[in-house]
A and B are shown apart, each in its own frame.
Chain A
């Protein structure tokens, strides 16, 4: 089966600019996750969707980050305006089954964002 697709692979922007990331999950996976992975740390969940509804966004900095999953398939994550501390790898993952994630997650290769 095709994996989780993410684009772009790399992005360099100046602080205060905006940026958007795209994710296409595995076909049939109802649950989609966006993670932020800062260098040397484990991934931190930003937002979790079940179909096109938000299950949890408690760790999403809503003053600058937004995400949507129209039609319950593709998703976009936006940062506006970006700060230096947003430099990280943004990972998208999808999961079959319940939002507990008991089956584990399939991750995309990520988008490496550098804010200068």
Chain B
């Protein structure tokens, strides 16, 4: 079945550092890919998405490119802020089974 694998956390960075959170997926068909963010005590919020190969999703300074050849959707940000501290989830939908599938989440901690 479909699956999503994220890098283990926590990822700890200093403010203004470069961020990469790796995400790879396994799916049949042509899934849509997503990154969600969960701030403490809140529900998940859609951060960005890409619906086909080579698409780049972007929002709030975060970017991710749908790489079909490497089955990856890595999340990047050039300069993180303390307010970016949260748990980030990679997800896919519309693969072989249509069941939305989430990764385990990667915690990001940004220090001043």
Chain A contact residues, CB within 8 Å of chain B: 4, 33, 40-45, 48, 55-56, 58-59, 91, 93, 99-110
In the assembled complex, which residues on chain B have CB atoms less than 8 Å from the CB atom of A93? 44
In the assembled complex, which residues on chain A have CB atoms less than 8 Å from the CB atom of B104? 40-42
Cα distance, A102 to B50, chains bound together (Å):
9
In the assembled complex, which residues on chain A have CB atoms less than 8 Å from the CB atom of B43? 4, 91, 107-110
Are B100 and A109 interface neighbours, CB within 8 A?
no
Q: Which of B82-100 contact A (CB under 8 A)?
A: 89, 91, 93-94, 97-100
Not counting A45-B99, A102-B51, a sample of 4 additional A-B residue pairs whose C-beta atoms are within 8 angstroms of each other reads A48-B100, A102-B32, A105-B100, A107-B36
The smallest beta-carbon distance between A42 and chain B, in angstroms, is 3
**B69 contacts partner chain A, Cβ-Cβ < 8 Å:** no
Cα distance, A78 to B12, chains bound together (Å):
39
Interface string of B39-67 (1 = CB under 8 A from A): 00111111001010000000000000000
* A-B interface contact total, Cβ < 8 Å: 63
Are B44 and A107 interface neighbours, CB within 8 A?
yes
The smallest beta-carbon distance between B49 and chain A, in angstroms, is 5
**B25 contacts partner chain A, Cβ-Cβ < 8 Å:** no
Interface string of B7-46 (1 = CB under 8 A from A): 0000000000000000000000000101010000111111
Cα distance, A42 to B2, chains bound together (Å):
14
In the assembled complex, which residues on chain B have CB atoms less than 8 Å from the CB atom of A45? 99-101
**B73 contacts partner chain A, Cβ-Cβ < 8 Å:** no
In the assembled complex, which residues on chain A have CB atoms less than 8 Å from the CB atom of B99? 45, 48, 56, 58-59
Cα distance, A4 to B44, chains bound together (Å):
11
Nearest to A4 among chain B residues (CB) is B43
The smallest beta-carbon distance between B38 and chain A, in angstroms, is 9
In the assembled complex, which residues on chain A have CB atoms less than 8 Å from the CB atom of B100? 33, 45, 48, 101, 105
